[in-house]
Amino acid sequence: MPRSSRRARAAVLAVALGGALGLSACSDDASVSAPASTAAQTSAAAPSSSAETPAATSAAPTSESAAPVEESTTTSTTAASPTTSASKGDMKVTPSGTTLKVGQPALIETRDGELFRVTPKTLAAAPDSDYAAANLDKADGTMYYLTFDVSNVGDVEGHVNRRYLHPKTDAGGMMGPKVLYGSTPACKGTAGDLAPGATQTNCYIYQIDGAPITDVEYAGSPQKLTWTK
């Protein structure tokens, strides 16, 4: 083979070899750059995930802050209880055996469940001129007028039995004073039942023999009360 042909073939071979090396270098560069791209993506994604974590954590106080609202509602409901307790306390029946002053009220409960607030106002001997109006003889005993305020604080109609509310005598109870029905110009009693929620001033008449009487009693069963001057 001529020497010039050898040189030409060698040149072609050199060019071909150079191109192959170039392609290999490009391929190597691509393989090297790929991890860099992956690392960049991984590195860029990491802050996003990290940034979302504080956002989720910051939502927790919002949920916790709702708890005090519920607690304040509970406190408000509890504060309303004393009001219900006070109303019931106002309706407490006066304990049996209590002694009060004339003019002080007492809450009386009858054996039939009627409730009355009773306030004796005065207990006084009637003037002599009233005996004729009541068709009474003073020789049989002194006539007394008992005036009192009464309120029906229960749920049913009723009245305070004059056989239980009367001047207090040594005999006590229903065996004491003589109960008189009717009225005089100075003591006009009201008969009949009192409606729930109604209030009135009433006057009962009694005739009692013996020493002057100044005290009033309620001798119901089982409640017994005394009012003194």
Count the Cβ atoms, other than its own, within 10 Å of residue 1.
6
Tens of pLDDT, residues 66-107: 333 333 333 333 333 332 222 334 679 999 999 999 999 999
| CATH tag, 94-228 | 2.60.40.1240
pTM of the model: 0.59
Q: What is the number of residues in the chain?
A: 229
The domain segmentation of the chain, as residue ranges, is 3-77, 94-228
Distance of CA 91 to the CA centre of its chain: 16
Per-residue confidence (pLDDT) for residue 78, from 0 to 100: 33
Per-residue confidence (pLDDT) for residue 157, from 0 to 100: 94
Per-residue confidence (pLDDT) for residue 181, from 0 to 100: 86
What Cα–Cα distance (Å) separates residue 67 from each residue in 62, 64, 74, 77?
10, 6, 11, 16
Residues in the chain, pLDDT under 70: 1-90, 171-176
